[in-house]
Amino acid sequence: MNVLVLEDDELVAELLETVIASAYPGALVKKFPLLEEAIAETDRQHLDLVITDWNLPDGSGLELVRHLRGRDRELPIVMVSGRSDRDSVLKAAHYGISGYITKPFSVEMVHERLAALIEPGPVSTEELNLQAMLTESLEHVIQLPGEQDPAEILALIERADELSPAQLSERWREQPALVTRLLDVANGSSFRRTGKPVETLKDAINLMGVSMALNQALALSLDVGRQLKSPELVELAAKHQEQALKVGREAQRIAISMKKPPVMFQKAGLLSRVGELAVISVINQYIAKGGQLEEGQADQCLRDWAQPYGNRLKVQWRLSLDLRELIGSVHFLQKDAVRNDRLIMRAAALIAEGRQEEEACQILLDRLGVHVASKAEE
């Protein structure tokens, strides 16, 4: 499914992208800030849904509607605008739009409207191919399986004026799906303004604002398509999420013992299994469409695809080279590596795997000059 979003406010565009991905799992979303760019894209690409703002830097979104309706009367087109007066709504309707949403909008309402706009068609199981889905999904918006509760997020939204970025970052710091999405959104905006990546959850929330961060969280929580469809996937996701948390905690513990700021080390641990979680998310979409897993197929997909997905996400999220290398050190460390931050991450990974007593881990801890209590000592 191909979706075009024409919106010059980048944070609003990112929020719409999250809502679209939750309403239509696997959708390929392309965002454009300028009318001219969007019109050019419509001439190149078949589209299944268009969402456009009204007022744009180089014209009106109505021009895009006119351009599209000249050749396609059935394509769903939704206007999202700050204009709420009756005349504007009637004018847009005259151009043949499929729906009109006023800003500021409710994420729940947008999700419901979009989900109802296009009924998912039947998918022949003969057309389903898990390897093809994994290949194609590398280019899509990848959202990780998460556990956000919509009721909890809605309660936080009611208290938005009382909440600070620090409070939200503390609350969400061990939720990989949400942390990674907020970093992704913040880096998209930050990079265009400063060229410097946002590397902490607190900074990401501070950049986009508490209200926008809460809306992103709500959009993720409404993504019922990401709810895992089989006990095997539930078990695999829990295993990799728990392993990432363990690595983060151990890295934090070692860093503190060495009097180093622990935030970056904990974050690298938290992000160390995003490739596995992304692959699980795609397998989940495959099952939701009627696909069936053969014995051992999920494990094989994780072995084959976790690294490509992890690498793709690290680039997509514009993580700094240092952070990427810290994450990489969780899985593999060059024999000639000398930087303490890399040694910390590899040692943390071995400890998290229960391999603290092995020679390789003890050598790393000796090089760091750190004594980490064993389970027996604790």
Domain residue ranges of the chain, discontinuous segments joined by +: 2-121, 150-225, 228-368
Mean pLDDT over 196-219 rounds to 86
Say which CATH architecture domain 2-121 belongs to: 3-Layer(aba) Sandwich (3.40)
Residue 297's pLDDT is: 93
What is the pLDDT confidence band of residue 111, given thresholds at 50, 70 and 90? Answer: confident
Tens digit of each residue's pLDDT (9 = 90 or more) over 122-138: 544 556 789 998 998 88
Mean pLDDT over 330-348 rounds to 91
Tens digit of each residue's pLDDT (9 = 90 or more) over 252-261: 899 999 999 8
What is the pLDDT confidence band of residue 142, given thresholds at 50, 70 and 90? Answer: low
High-pLDDT (> 70) share of the chain, %: 90
Mean pLDDT over 289-298 rounds to 88
What CATH number belongs to 228-368?
A: 1.10.3210.10
Residue 143's pLDDT is: 66
Residue 376's pLDDT is: 46
Type of residue found at 22: S
- According to DSSP, residue 95 is labeled T
Structure tokens at 211: 């209200």
Fold: same for 2-121 and 228-368? no
Residue 371's pLDDT is: 80
DSSP string, 24-41: STT-EEEEESSHHHHHHH
pTM: 0.66
> Does residue 336 have a pLDDT over 60?
yes
Most confident of 18-22, 95-99, 132-136: 95-99
Dist. CA 5–CA 14, nearest whole Å: 9
Most confident of 237-241, 261-265, 322-326: 322-326
Quote the Cα angle for 194-199-202, to 5°: 100
Q: Which residues contact 258 (CB under 8 A, 6 or more apart)?
A: 340, 344, 368, 369, 370
Residue 126's pLDDT is: 52
